[in-house]
Amino acid sequence: MFFQPRHVDEALEIRGRMGSDVTPLGGGTDIVVTINKTSMRPKHFLDLTHLPDYTHVVRDNGNWVLSAGATFSQLGKLPMKALAAAAMTVGGAAIRNTGTIAGNLGTASPAGDGCVALMAIDAEVELTHATRGRRTIPIHEYFTGFRRTALLADELITGVRLRTDWRTAWYKIGKRGSINISLVCAAFGMSPEGGVRMAYGCVAPIVMRTRLAEEIIEKDGLTDAAIEAAAQSVMKEVAPIDDHRASANYRRAMCGVLARRLLRELRIKNTG
Amino acid sequence: MRNAEDGIRTPALPAKRTATAPVRTKPLIDPSTTPYKESPKGPVGRSEKRIDGTEKVLGTALYGADLFYNRADYFAQVVRSEKAHARIVKIDTADALRVPGVLAVYTAKDMPPGATNRQGLIHRDHPVLAEDKVLYRGDAVAIVVAQTERAVVRGRDAVRVEYEDLPVVADFDDALAEDAPKLHPDGNIMGGKRIRKGDADAALAESDVIVSETFVTQTVDHAFLDIEAGIGQWDGHLLTLHVSGQWAHEERRLTALALGLPMEAVRIITPATGGAFGGREDLSIQVYLGLVALKHPGKTIAMRYSREESMRARHKRHAMRIHYTVGAKKDGTLTAAKITVYSDEGAYASTGPAVLRKAASHSTGPLRVPNVYVDVYGVFTNNNPTGAMRGFGACQMAIAYCGMMDRLAERLGMDRVELWRKNLIRSGDEVTTGQRIPIATAIECMDAALKQFRSKKKDDRPLAPHEKRGWGMSVICFGLGYGDGFPDASRAIVKFNAAGRLEVYTGGVEYGQGLLNMAGQIAAEELGVPFSQVDVIWADTGRTLESGSSSATRQTYFTGNAVKIAASELREQVLDIAGKLLGVHPHELDLHDGKAVGRYNAKLVVPIDKLVEEGRRRKYSLEATGIFKPRTVCENYDTGQSPRSFITYLFASHIAQVVVDIETGEVRVERFIACHDVGKAINPQSVAGQMIGGATQGIGMALMEEVIMDDGVMRNPNFTDYILPTFRDVPTIETVIVENDDPGGPYGARGIGEPPLIAATPAVLSAIGNAIGVCPHTTPCNPQRVWELLHPEEAQVPYAARLSLAPGHAMMFK
Ligand SMILES: Cc1cc2nc3c(=O)[nH]c(=O)nc-3n(C[C@H](O)[C@H](O)[C@H](O)COP(=O)(O)OP(=O)(O)OC[C@H]3O[C@@H](n4cnc5c(N)ncnc54)[C@H](O)[C@@H]3O)c2cc1C
């Protein structure tokens, strides 16, 4: 069956009733590739793209509230450096116009650029069930393992919340300028209270934060010495592998390079 | 009919001088006094609209995959080896045959009597269906036929093949190890090629400086967009195949041989084709379709590959390891080059021998090197077979010789441009093979590229502290055509049809490069008819004559000449008719703008349509055939020397400007200039298109493209991980077309095809070296490799370890 509900309640009801037998469908830019490449054949689809307000992005009381279906093209316009820049490095224009933030969270790839950016700003993911209602969990609790998340089989991702007042920075290293899979990517955020988040993609089975390095900066501030100590710490904390895209040595070294580069950027610029 | 055998007269040259004689600095022939000073009056030299443009833009052109949907009765799929090297113990088809809709499974045993079951463009050493062994992961083992596409895929996946594993020969080092398993009866060295000119060892010993380097180039995929697809049927007498290719007539010959059919029983019709780059020179699905069609007479059989199958099945560009040593005097004058090349042939030879020869004959490019010693070896491995690809051995060597110039300039503390200028050949000098080049325009190309580079006001953006900017240059030469004595000819028919339109028949394949316009514009020019009056009928073995392959940068020169010869024959008929009609000698008339016009009397005018009608009444054939078949001379087996290894040479120079992030190794190409001497641009827009496309492909080879093989397993048979350049990776390519007429080319044209790729890669590498202060030696220079150049101790596979086994300058010829 191919369900195409027009109301959120209807979508939640179908998902609640059918659980993992039904596959939520956003832009399809991950699902369709998986179907083409593997033997995976979803029994039923739940197309969410016709829900009202599915792509809305609004400002609410010091927060950005992203509907699940917000596309990368939309996120690219947000005045939030890490998320906007990350969004603009996803795929090419066609992928950015169709790929959604919920899809990125649903796939939960360690190379998910959106996931890394959200990790750096302590975003909250909103998971909703037809009868149990809505729960909001911090992003770092959302990822639980390699392509595993806290999303239950009968829930849908309905939105993402993030604060508007963080300073952030982003960098992605890839082999080309567009349609570019990250070899390593990093998003850093700093709250007005001085909280520091340093998130990395492609250097562990899940999108990760380098917490020891964060502590160094939170404690000592963005001094040259602290930045260097944080960079050294990052290189010990990450666990990259050798694969056909890049070597572990290279990825590890790049984590250090990006630590220095992005921390300095946070120091110099009053970024959004 | 005129046979233009040896239609080109090479100017008389002084007696051969010894290799150590002083090098001439004055050109033998002044490049400006060339034969076509008067410009053509008609479409030659104009960017006429593409004949196939509208249908391609509108999507009405029928490619292989379009025919597939329209006409298929049955579908076929190939069962491919999952092992890189194994003996086939058993092929169990029972499960496959139980799949509803599956009609049959064929293996090598089902080949018709008399079939050779072999393919391969030059060496036919590749079983179409494996007989007892598989030699790469992708070797064809069986073919499944079914009534639907879904059934055929299920049937393919249900064929069980039992293998006995054999040790995998993963690279040169494995292949050359003493206890290596023999992949072919004669061992793992497929063949070799050598050049012995002067005394390289002695000259090196006397040189003021010696520079050595080992270059490692990658395996490259053609990555054309139009994936292999097509249809075929056997009507009891004739096997008709609609499959995209690059050389319809050779595809017919090879298909007939493989299936044991007489050549007349096979007809190849090439559909609209989207790109080839050498990737369609070897057979793809022709024999599979043919075999299934023979088994199911009257039915239309369809096949298509997925991208993954296309990448896993098809031959690739040879990865090479090039040990290069040059010697020079203090002032930069080159004295000697000693070069050893190992080329990964993969599992089967195919065009390997020709690629080796081209690598050898282009090993010092456009440089004057009096003493040269070259050994090139083709080495079998269990990787994908290798074969033709744009650049054909010459592009790997250009990476090496251009790279050596940068290293030498650095060692001597000399300006790179001055070093090039000192050593580039002049008109009348010889290349490595001893062939004298009457019109050598390497310096002219270099200067034109430099002029363009310097002309633009510097509006370079300011750099971040972790960024470095650099620029690099390449200068290359390229012998067009097959060369080296290989038979090489084009034929064409030009005629007026019943409707009075001019028809040009060529066996050449149009795959996007612009062959139809080239042929059409030349015919229209010669006959003075408007270009809109011309139709080109191409690549159908039932209707057109053999015109050789659309490869080797040869179609403009070869088919262009054949068309011109045929058209000029037909022109004589038309002038003859006009002369009779007007009562003047035909010589007093000229054809242009659709009319016969008096040369000396403007009042004499007759429209060509009228002359065609009149000719038909007077029983003129209104048709002519042209053959262009110039000879080249085989390179000497012991020395690699030949007075005329190639029919003519092309020159080019590229300049790249890059910004390198020295912390991450990312490279951004900021500016790119491509300058080519094409003789005469028949259609300047097509020529520029080839320059832009080739440069883009060369940038891909320099920075990102790479087939990653890991113990015989391809890690990236898809466009997610086989990284092709996008618009963001390529700046505007600034094209500079230089025109020095070739005395033997049609309207002075030489060609364009391959050189843009060949020149691009080394220019980018040179720019990276200039930016970071370390010259690259391994391609592609992706971010990790650039970073490893700056941090060699961190390299994934240390550069030195990769070069452990294969001896440097070895002598392995028996
Ligand atoms: C050419 C190409 C380039 C790409 N480049 C990048 C890149 O640079 N960076 C990057 O991060 N990704 C990239 N991707 C991957 C992909 O585009 C992103 O992951 C995108 O965010 C997926 O979103 P979607 O809406 O298309 O997801 P879909 O394919 O529709 O869904 C993905 C998964 O999420 C689940 N899902 C979707 N919506 C919900 C929901 N509301 N509730 C619960 N589960 C849900 C689906 O069931 C599925 O499991 C690329 C993909 C392609 C094809």
- Nearest Cβ partner for B729 among A177, A244, A253: A177
Residue A2 has pLDDT above 80, yes or no: yes
ipTM over 0.85: yes
A179 in contact with chain B, both atoms CB, cutoff 8 A:
yes
| Average pLDDT for B801-808 | 64
B607-626 pLDDT tens trace:
999 999 999 999 999 999 99
CA of B631 to the centre of ligand 1 (A): 59
Task: Return d(Cα B360, Cα B194) in angstroms, integer.
Answer: 7
Q: What is the pLDDT of residue A130?
A: 97
Report the residue from B663, B727, B791 with minimal CB separation from A178. B727
Mean pLDDT of B577-590: 96
Q: How many domains does chain A have?
A: 1
Asked whether the predicted pLDDT for residue B813 surpasses 60, the reply is: no
Establish if A93 belongs to a structural domain: no
CB A50 within 8 A of CB A126: no
Unique residue bearing structure tokens 């064409």: B492
pLDDT at B39: 75
Tell me which residue has its CA closest to atom 28 in ligand 1: A28
CA of A122 from ligand 1 middle (Å) equals 21
pLDDT of B16 over the 60 cut: no
Residue B495 pLDDT greater than 60, yes or no: yes
Whether residue A213 is contained in a domain is answered as: yes
- Decide whether any atom of ligand 1 lies within 6 Å of the A233 Cβ: no
- Give a yes or no: residue A220 inside a domain: yes
Average model confidence (pLDDT) across chain B = 93
Q: Is residue A191 in some structural domain?
A: yes
User: Average pLDDT in the A19-26 region?
Assistant: 97
At B218 the three-state DSSP class reads coil
* Ligand 1 atom with the shortest distance to the CA of A68: 41
Tokens of A208: 């990760």
pLDDT band per the 50, 70, 90 thresholds, residue B68: confident
Cα A34 to ligand 1 centroid, rounded to whole Å: 10
For residue B62, what pLDDT is reported? 95
Q: What is the pLDDT of residues B691-737, one digit of tens each?
A: 999 999 999 999 999 999 999 999 999 999 999 999 999 999 999 99
Residue A231 resides in a domain: yes
Which pLDDT score is estimated for B2? 39
Chain B CB contacts of A176 below 8 Å? 703-704, 723-726, 728-729
pLDDT in tens, B657-674: 999 999 999 999 999 999
**From CA A36, how far away is CA B760, in angstroms rounded?**
35
Residues of B in contact with A244 (CB under 8 A): 708, 710, 715-716, 721
| Residues of chain B neighbouring A181 (CB-CB closer than 8 A) | 720-721
Provide the pLDDT confidence category of residue B34 given band limits of 50, 70 and 90: low
Half-sphere exposure of B757 (CA within 13 A, CB side): 25
Whether residue B455 contacts residue B448, with contact meaning beta carbons closer than 8 Å, is answered with: no
Specify the amino acid at residue B97: L
| pLDDT over 90 (residue A209) | yes
Per-residue confidence at B13, pLDDT binned at 50, 70, 90? very low
Confidence class for position B141, pLDDT limits 50, 70, 90: very high
Domains of chain B: 64-166+228-304 (3.90.1170.50)
Q: A173 is written with which tokens?
A: 């290293």
CB neighbour list of residue B451: distance below 8 Å, 6 or more residues apart: none
Separation between Cα atoms, residue A101 and residue A27, nearest integer Å: 10
Closest atom of ligand 1 to CA, residue A106? 34
**CB–CB of B466 and A181 under 8 A?**
no
| Helix/strand/coil percent split, chain A, to 5 | 40, 25, 35
Strand order in the sheet with A184-190: A167-173, A184-190, A196-201, A208-209
- Tell me whether residue A94 is in a domain: no
Query: Residue A172 domain-assigned?
Result: yes
Does B795 score more than 80 pLDDT?
Answer: yes
As a whole number, mean pLDDT of residues A203-223 equals 97
Q: How far apart are CA B407 and CA B776, in angstroms?
A: 10
CB pairs under 8 A between A and B: 63
Q: Does A38 touch chain B (CB under 8 A)?
A: no
Cα separation, B422 vs B445, in Å, equals 15
Residue B716 tokens, joined: 């990236």
| B-chain residues near A169 (CB < 8 A) | none
Burial class of residue B243, CB neighbours in 10 A (0-12, 13-18, 19+): buried
A190 pLDDT higher than 90:
yes
Q: What is the residue with the minimal CA distance to atom 32 of ligand 1?
A: A103
Q: Using one digit for the tens of pLDDT, what is the confidence trace for A31-73?
A: 999 998 888 999 999 999 999 999 999 999 999 999 999 999 9
pLDDT score of B27 more than 70 = no
pLDDT score of A111 more than 70: yes
Burial class (CB in 10 A: 0-12, 13-18, 19+), B605: middle
What phi, psi does B42 have (nearest 5°)?
Answer: -100, -145
Look at A175 and B466 and tell me if their CB atoms are within 8 Å: no
Parallel, antiparallel or unpaired: strands B467-480 and B266-269: unpaired
Residue A33 beta carbon below 6 angstroms from any ligand 1 atom: yes
Q: How far from the centroid of its chain's Cα atoms is residue B438's Cα?
A: 24
pLDDT score recorded for residue A268? 82
E-strand stretches of A174-212: 184-190, 196-201, 208-209
Contacts of A172 in chain B (CB under 8 A): none
**In the numeric block, which tokens belong to residue B675?**
């300058």
Residue count (chain B): 814
Choose among B619, B595, B434, B455: nearest CA to B18: B434
CATH classification at residue A218: 3.30.390.50
Least confident of A123-127, B47-51, B119-123, B799-803: B799-803
Is residue A171 in a domain?
yes
Range of the domain at A266: 167-271
**A224 touches B771 (CB < 8 A):** no
For ligand 1, the distance from its centroid to the CA atom of residue A184, given in whole angstroms, is: 19
